[in-house]
Chains A and B, each alone.
Chain A
Amino acid sequence: MRALTYHGKHDVRVDTVPDPEIVNPRDAIIEVTSTAICGSDLHLYNGVIPAVMNGDILGHEFMGRVVETGPGSTLKKGQRVVVPFTISCGQCFHCNKQQYSACDNSNPAENQDLTTPLYGRPVSALFGYSHLTGGYPGGQAEYVRVPFSDVGPIVIPEGHDDEKVLFLSDILPTGWMAAENCDIEEGDTVAVWGCGPVGLFAVQSALLMGAHQVIAIDHYPRRLELARQLGAEVIDFTQTHVLEALIEMTGGVGPDAVIDAVGMESHGFAVDNLLDTVKQTVGLGLDRAHVLRECIMACRKGGRVSVPGVYGGFIDKFPLGSFMEKGLQMRTGQTHVQRYSQDLLKRIEADEIDTTFLISHRLPLEEAPTGYANFYSQQNDWTKVVLKPGA
Chain B
Amino acid sequence: MTMHSKYRTGSDRNRGAPVSVLALLGLLAAGAGLAYVSVKRTQPYRGDHRPPDSAPGRTSRQHRYGEYAVIGNTVTINKPRAELYAYWRDFANLGQFMENIEAVEVTGPDSATWRISGPAGSTVTVKTRVVDDRPDEQIAWRSVEGSEIDTEGKVMFRDAPGGRGTIVEAIVAYRPPAGEMGRWIAKLFQKEPRVQGRRDLKRFKMLMETGEVATSKNRKAA
Q: Which residues of A contact B (CB under 8 A)?
A: 18-21, 23-26, 72, 89-93, 96, 104-113, 125, 131, 134-137, 144-145, 147-148
Contact = CB atoms under 8 A, between A and B. Distances in A.
A25 B217 CA distance: 14
B78 A23 contact: no
Interface of B: 76, 78, 164-165, 195, 198-200, 202-203, 205-206, 209-220
A109 B206 contact: yes
Nearest to A70: B212
7 contacts: A23-B215, A24-B213, A92-B78, A105-B214, A107-B214, A109-B206, A148-B210
Contact of B219 (A18, A104, A131, A148): A18
A366 B212 CA distance: 35
> Which secondary structure dominates chain A's binding surface?
loop
B219 to A, nearest CB: 5
- Chief secondary structure at chain B's binding surface: loop
Contacts, number: 82
Contacts of B199: 109-110, 112-113
A135 B78 contact: no
Most buried by B among A105, A125, A134: A105
Contacts of A89: 206, 209-210, 214
A383 B151 CA distance: 60
Contact of A105 (B195, B206, B216): B206
Contact of A111 (B78, B200, B206, B216): B216
Nearest to A105: B206
Contacts of B220: 21, 23
Contacts of B213: 24, 108-109
Contacts of B211: 25-26, 72
B218 A20 contact: yes
Contacts of B195: 113
Contacts of B198: 109, 113
A214 B151 CA distance: 64
A56 to B, nearest CB: 10
Contacts of A109: 198-200, 202-203, 206, 213-214
A145 B215 CA distance: 11
Given A92-B78, A105-B205, A113-B199, A26 B214 contact: no
A113 B220 CA distance: 23
A120 B163 CA distance: 25
B212 A93 contact: no
A135 B198 CA distance: 20
Nearest to A108: B214
A212 B4 CA distance: 77
A364 to B, nearest CB: 22
Contact of B218 (A23, A26, A106, A110): A23
B202 A112 contact: yes
A26 B210 contact: yes
B164 A93 contact: yes
